[in-house]
Amino acid sequence: MFCSIVCAQFRVLKDNLEKLNYKRNVADIKKDIKMNVQAHLQLLKACEVINGIFSFGVLGQFAGSIFVICFTSYELIFYSPDFSDFYLVLAYEIHLLSYMVCMLGQVAFYCYYGHNIMSESSDIGQSIYLSNWYDSDLKIRKELMIFMERVKKPIILTAGELFPLTVNTLRGILRSSYSFFAVLRQTK
């Protein structure tokens, strides 16, 4: 939920930056730029707090999920319960499959929102550029160029300060789970 709010605030910031009016006096423009820079700094702090709170918990979730997905896949394929009733076997397999989907969903949830924050924060420079900043006073252009330099580095939430929370990390978790599963399958 916090990540959704942060993403929405990044969209508001981008909208404010794109709609900056440079036809006004320099003092008003500087005031608006300062307000937007402060909003960006507050978003940076919010992301830092979110990362500090969830980072190591998410790392544990990732590590656990890799093994749970691996072992659940193994059990789905190789374990045949001693139920004589077809429907009991089917219910058992559906139970395992739904458990595995829930574990994937938890990991995908973190990666999705981390990826969204990274994506939204990386678009701020483009929003500044789209604001017709080149029509403004030289001092304003210099301030905006400094701001554009700062926002070139996107905000990246991490899992235990080791892995970025992105869609590529989700792909890596699935690959790791499959790799462990392949090793287990060879032991059968």
Give the tokens for residue 172: 């890596």
Confidence (pTM): 0.82
Cβ(72)–Cβ(100) below 8 Å:
yes
Helix (H) or strand (E) holding 79: none
Distance in angstroms (rounded) separating the CA atoms of residues 46 and 27: 29
Give the tokens for residue 1: 């939920």
pLDDT per residue rounded down to tens, the chain (188 residues): 788 999 999 999 999 999 888 888 888 889 999 999 999 999 999 999 999 999 999 999 988 888 888 888 888 887 777 777 778 878 888 988 899 899 899 999 999 999 999 999 999 999 998 888 777 888 888 988 999 999 999 999 999 989 999 999 999 888 888 888 888 788 76
